[in-house]
Amino acid sequence: MDLKGATVVVTGGARGIGRGIVTAFAAEGANVVIGDMLDVADIAESCKETRALAEAYGVKTEAAAVDVRDFAQSQALMKQAMDSFGRLDVVCANAGVISTAAVTELDPDEWDRVMDVNAKGVFLTCKAAAPMMIERQHGCFVNTASIAGKRGAARASHYAASKFAVIGFTQSLAMEMAPHNVRANAICPGWLGTHMWLDVILAPQRDRGRDTREVFEQMAQERAPLKRPQTPEDIGQAAIYLARAENVTGIALTVAGGIEMH
């Protein structure tokens, strides 16, 4: 796929992995619509920064407030992309949340929250975009899963379950969309020094008075075969590959520096 002049929609695009995906596509000349929870002040501010980084490449961006758990909002997001740029080429369903708790301690409502954003949100984002891609007989989906979607993780059963669901959904979507010349793939990031890791997963270390960034870097150095964590830019590179790889569909591409090997 030629990405110059293409239209890309990225949910959860304001910061973290989303920012890496947005700027990677912008660097290739694509216009980007960033969907995120813009009613949250820090996310809205991050979105402004991400748009500035992307527009430095000479492309156009738009921001749209979207709760991916709401199908009507997902439909509105895709309509905005079509109204603004007249086409829809790539949809990156990236929005996600995480929390940690043992199964015996996990609140059922928290299970539902994580599943609703991470799994149902991907489904609704893709469902909203699929008719437009079918009509054009063109397009691709790049959904964000996780290495936790390939193996379980203690104290993250709900998160792992949601990411296993993303992989299964993506494979099924790939089968359904193939006759329409539309592809669907997933990316499985490993360890990234984003909000999820530093402020949520490693929160117990912070509570013990340790610097979570230092803990994270040390952990990656000791446990990752390539001796470094992943970055949002690494995930952006993977998204570009999957958008361009015309004969690749239904895969879950691990980007984890060897932490997880399949």
Q: What is the distance between the alpha carbons of residues 90 and 4, in angstroms, rounded to a whole number?
A: 12
Tokens representing 91?
Answer: 């949809």
Contact criterion met (CB below 8 Å) for 31 and 54: no
Q: What is the distance between the alpha carbons of residues 47 and 43, in angstroms, rounded to a whole number?
A: 6
Is residue 241 part of the annotated active site? The answer reads: no
Residue 152: count other Cβ atoms within 10 Å of its Cβ.
Answer: 12
Distance of alpha carbon 120 from its chain centroid, rounded? 13
Strands 182-189 and 139-144: parallel
Contact criterion met (CB below 8 Å) for 213 and 202: no
Q: Which of 25, 111, 141, 159 is catalytic?
A: 159
Q: What is the 3-state secondary structure (H, E, C) of 14-59?
A: CCHHHHHHHHHHHHCCCEEEEEECCCCHHHHHHHHHHHHHHHCCCC
Q: What is the distance between the alpha carbons of residues 198 and 86, in angstroms, rounded to a whole number?
A: 39
Q: What is the distance between the alpha carbons of residues 15 and 116, in angstroms, rounded to a whole number?
A: 20
Q: What residues are labeled active site?
A: 159
